[in-house]
Chain A
Amino acid sequence: MNLAPNVPSGPLEEKWSNHLNNIQLVAPNNKRKHEVIVVGTGLAGGAAAASLAELGYNVKSFCIQDSARRAHSIAAQGGINAAKNYPNDGDTIWRLFYDTIKGGDYRSRESNVYRLAQISNEIIDQAVAQGVPFAREYGGLLANRSFGGAQVSRTFYARGQTGQQLLLGAYQAMMRQVHEGKIDYHPRHEMLDLVVLDGKARGIITRDLVSGEIRRWMADAVVLCTGGYGNVFYLSTNAKNSNVTAAWRCHKRGAAFANPCYVQIHPTCIPVSGDYQSKLTLMSESLRNDGRVWVPKKKGDERPPNQIPEEERYYYLEEKYPSFGNLVPRDVASRNAKLVCDDGMGVGPTGRAVYLDFRDAIERDGKKAISEKYGNLFEMYENITGDNPYEVPMRIFPAVHYTMGGLWVDYNLMSNIPGLFVAGEANFSDHGANRLGASALMQGLSDGYFIIPYTIGNYIAGTDLPEADTRHEVFEEAAGNAQSHIDRMLGVGGDRSVVDIHRELGKIMWDKVGIARNEEGLKEAISQIRGLREEFWNNVRVPGESANYNKYLEFAGRVADFLELGELMAEDALHRDESAGCHLREEHQTEEGEALRNDEDFSYVAAWEYQGVNGELQEQLHKEDLQFDFVELKQRSYK
Chain B
Amino acid sequence: MAEEMTIHLKIWRQDGPDAPGELVDYTLDNVNEHMSFLEMLDVLNEQIVAEGGVPVEFDYDCREGICGSCNLMINGRAHGPKALTCSCQLHMRNYSDGDTITVEPFRARAFPVIKDLVVDRSAFDRIIEAGGYISTKTGSAPDANSIPVDKSVADTAFDYATCIGCGACVAACPNGSASLFAGAKLAHLNRLPQGKPEKRKRTVAMVEQMEEEGFGDCSNHAECEAVCPKGISISAIAEMRREYMKAFFSGEEA
Contacts and interface: CB of A to CB of B under 8 A. Distances in A.
Contacts of B194: 128-131
13 contacts: A69-B165, A126-B136, A131-B188, A131-B189, A133-B192, A138-B151, A142-B145, A165-B161, A176-B133, A276-B43, A495-B50, A543-B52, A552-B49
A535 B162 CA distance: 44
Contacts of B149: 136, 140
Interface string A398-423: 00000000000000000000000000
Given A65-B61, A74-B67, 18 more contacts: A54-B137, A69-B68, A70-B62, A84-B144, A139-B148, A140-B148, A142-B145, A165-B161, A274-B35, A278-B39, A384-B89, A386-B34, A450-B139, A497-B49, A499-B46, A541-B49, A543-B53, A543-B54
Contacts of B114: 210, 549
Q: Which of A137, A175, A178, A552 has the most CB atoms of chain B within a 10 A radius of its CB?
A: A175
Contact of A68 (B35, B121, B125): B125
A168 B137 CA distance: 15
Contacts of B212: none
A136 B151 CA distance: 5
A239 interface: yes
A108 interface: no
B223 interface: no
Contacts of B66: 74-75, 161, 164
B245 interface: no
B254 interface: no
A240 B138 contact: no
A128 B134 CA distance: 10
A278 B122 contact: no
Contacts of A543: 48-49, 52-55
Majority SS at the chain B contact face: loop
B34 A273 contact: yes
B63 A130 contact: no
A168 B121 contact: no
Sorted from nearest, which 3 A-B pairs have the closest CB atoms?
A140-B148, A172-B133, A129-B141
Contact of B162 (A161, A279, A281): A161
B144 A70 contact: no
B188 A449 contact: no
A66 B119 CA distance: 9
Nearest to B137: A54
B7 to A, nearest CB: 13
A274 B34 contact: yes
B195 interface: yes
B143 A130 contact: no
Interface in A33-70: 47, 50-51, 54, 65-70
A453 interface: yes
Contacts of B143: 125
Contacts of B124: 67
A239 B32 contact: no
Nearest to B166: A70
A615 to B, nearest CB: 27
B42 A281 contact: no
B217 to A, nearest CB: 24
B130 interface: yes
B139 A126 contact: yes
A168 B149 CA distance: 19
A472 interface: no
Contacts of B134: 129-131, 172
B35 A239 contact: no
Interface in A262-312: 273-274, 276-279, 281-282
A551 B55 contact: yes
Interface string A437-463: 000000000000110010000000000
Contacts of A453: 138
Contacts of A318: none
A323 interface: no
A517 to B, nearest CB: 28
Nearest to A47: B138
A133 B195 CA distance: 11
A187 B122 contact: yes
A56 to B, nearest CB: 11
A9 B6 CA distance: 68
A179 interface: yes
B192 A70 contact: no
B158 interface: yes
A386 B32 CA distance: 13
B195 to A, nearest CB: 5
Contact of A278 (B15, B42, B138): B42
A268 to B, nearest CB: 14
A503 to B, nearest CB: 10
B138 A450 contact: yes
A497 B50 CA distance: 8
A179 B130 contact: yes
A51 B140 CA distance: 11
B162 to A, nearest CB: 6
A173 interface: yes
A166 to B, nearest CB: 11
Contact of B62 (A74, A86, A187, A274): A74
A135 interface: yes
A141 interface: yes
B67 A72 contact: yes
Nearest to A171: B128
A240 B36 CA distance: 14
Interface string B159-196: 00110110000000000000000000000110010110
Contact of B61 (A165, A172, A178, A239): A239
B93 interface: yes
Contacts of A185: 125
